[in-house]
């Protein structure tokens, strides 16, 4: 994880790095460790509007595969297209070179529902915030 980061985290194991009205999204390192080697990524189309909790991308890995949902309402502005041919960046550097997509945030108030790093780590470890 990006230590000391101001990133936000979803309960769907995505990180959201906000830059004004835009954000970069990707899988957390902990999610990649749990999933095993990522072998396939299907990214969203640029320009598409995605509602919170709608499918944002599809991922296949050694231990699991499935849909990952958008943590916020957004419009996709860019995708890390290299991942469709070479998944090594998401396996080796999911919180840096392995970013998945860039979005324009439609409703910034939804960011308040996301977790900070400590809250995410506690959720991942199955702890309540008071533990």
Domain presence at residue 87: yes
Within a domain: residue 39?
A: yes
pLDDT of 127 above 70? no
- Separation between Cα atoms, residue 37 and residue 72, nearest integer Å: 26
Whether the pLDDT of residue 129 is over 70: the answer is no
Q: Check whether 109 has a pLDDT greater than 80.
A: yes
Instruction: Indicate the SS3 state at residue 43.
Output: coil
Q: Could you tell me the pTM of the whole model?
A: 0.89
Q: At residue 111, does pLDDT exceed 60?
A: yes
Distance CA 94, CA 26 (A): 7
Q: What are the b/e assignments for 52-66, b being 16+ CB within 10 Å?
A: beeebbebebeeeee
In a domain? residue 38: yes
- Tens digit of each residue's pLDDT (9 = 90 or more) over 51-101: 999 999 999 999 999 999 999 999 999 999 999 999 999 999 999 999 999
Question: Is residue 122 in a domain?
Answer: no
Residue 77 lies in a domain: yes
Q: How confident is the model at residue 125 (pLDDT cuts 50, 70, 90)?
A: confident
Phi, psi at 60, each rounded to 5°: -120, 140
Identify the domain containing residue 44 by its residue range.
8-107
Taking only the tens place, the pLDDT of each residue in 8-37 is: 999 999 999 999 999 999 999 999 999 999
Q: What is the CATH number of the domain that holds 26?
A: 2.40.50.100
Based on the structure, what is the number of domains in the chain?
1
Within a domain: 98? yes
Q: What is the pLDDT of residue 131?
A: 39
């Amino acid at each position: 994880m990006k230590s000391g980061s101001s990133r936000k985290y979803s309960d769907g194991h995505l990180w959201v790095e906000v830059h004004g009205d835009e954000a970069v999204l990707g899988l957390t390192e902990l999610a990649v460790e749990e999933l095993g080697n990522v072998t396939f990524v299907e990214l969203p189309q640029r320009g598409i509007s995605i509602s919170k909790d709608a499918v944002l991308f599809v991922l296949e890995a050694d231990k699991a595969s499935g849909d990952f949902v958008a943590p916020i309402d957004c419009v996709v502005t860019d995708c890390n297209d290299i991942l469709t041919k070479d998944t090594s960046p998401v396996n080796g550097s999911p919180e840096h070179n392995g970013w998945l997509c860039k979005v324009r945030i439609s409703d910034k108030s939804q960011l308040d529902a996301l977790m900070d790093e400590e809250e995410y780590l506690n959720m991942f470890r199955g702890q309540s915030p008071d533990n």
